[in-house]
Structure 1
């Protein structure tokens, strides 16, 4: 099934000049990874402290776009500028789960979203990423199968943030989007597990 992740090559091509300048300035891939984690944590804290205000919600799409750019940049710095390391691999995988949790879990405090549905999405997202890593543990490539990968989750929560900030209704439709995300995440976990076994 198609995923926003498939747009990654075009996105990377757009970012490549920026990556070259960062490498020339001595910025490392691990520093970029840590910056993405810090950005997600800051946005998540804003949602946690001010869950009934709209301005943290308006920030979420911007934060998600910057985070996606930083995630692409750290990988390009590592691969194309000889910055790959064991620490970088650990930070890259744990950083994604940490950033997702830090930014998305506070949505459980945002009305009228269902706290249980938000928590379930975050849990399934973490399991899907762990399942992707299992492909490598079994001797194959890291699995990025959809239909609800990292980029798709970013699109979902960015849309939810804008939707709540602008209207906040109807609650049933907002929560239906989260339920559908849970179904798609379950599908993603199965696809990644099957892919890992096939490899």
Structure 2
């Protein structure tokens, strides 16, 4: 159950020219991470206007496409440019969370704050599950029914329709994704000790 994450190799290949250009020009991976946060904030700003419809959906989709591109590029630029560090991985994770929170914060103009808070908290669970698994020695599980890309798509649907129920779908899907990832980790670790 990899969801849209299955498209990552294809997407990374589409970004290979941009990645090479960034490495050639010595762009620091952390700058790309910060750009991802800015794109997340731009999506949040559009949502924060409280207006929904096609124009809002296009603007949110464009900002979140930039956010996802940065999430893909920062690690690739670090590896290709010989700048990978363990702390860089920490910055990458923090950047992903901040970008997502910045986008979700815009939903406060459209939905009850308790619903937005629940969605924001639930959205962190897939990453916590993956990081916990990696810390225990398992491969880091990715994808799932509501991974990062699917959560971005749900925010685009919210911008299009104004239906705040998409936040409930985001929260429930995030919880399910965390369960799927923990199950994968449990299976892998159990097999490793068998």
Report TM bin, short chain: 0.7 to 0.9
Q: Distance in 2 between matches of 1:176 and 1:163?
A: 10
**Consecutive unaligned residues in structure 2, runs of 5 or more:** 189-194
Does the 8 Å CA contact 2:44/2:104 hold for their aligned counterparts? Answer: yes
- Equivalent residue for 2:156? 158
Q: Report the counterpart of residue 61 of structure 1 in structure 2.
A: 61
Q: Does 1:183 align with 2:172?
A: yes
Contact 1:131 1:189 in 2 (8 A): yes
- TM-score when normalising by structure 1: 0.84
Structure 1: 5+ residue stretches without partners: 165-173
Residues 33-52 of structure 1: per-residue CA shift (max 9 Å, x gap): 1111123234424544x335
Equivalent of 1:140 in 134, 138, 141: 138
In structure 2, do the counterparts of structure 1 residues 183 and 39 end up closer, same or farther at CA, with 3 Å as the change threshold? closer
**RMSD (CA atoms):** 2.1
Rounded Cα–Cα distance in structure 1 between residues aligned with 2:158 and 2:46: 16
**C-alpha contact (below 8 Å) 1:23/1:77 kept by paired residues:** yes
Larger mean CA deviation between 147-156 and 28-37 belongs to 28-37
Q: Which residue is 1:195 aligned to? A: 184
Distance of 1:67 and 1:38 partners within structure 2: 8
Tell me if structure 2 keeps the 8 A contact 1:143–1:192.
Answer: yes
Equivalent residues, number: 187
Contact 2:57 2:157 in 1 (8 A): no
Deviation digits for residues 130-181 of structure 1 (CA, Å, limit 9, x no counterpart): 11111111012222141110011011101211223xxxxxxxxx23333233
Alignment of 1:7-86 (within 5 A): 7-45=7-45, 47-48=47-48, 50-52=49-51, 58-86=58-86
Shift of 1:66: 0.9
Distance (whole Å) between structure 2 residues aligned to residue 107 and residue 157 of structure 1: 9
Detail structure 1 runs of 4+ shifted over 4 Å in the superposition: 52-58
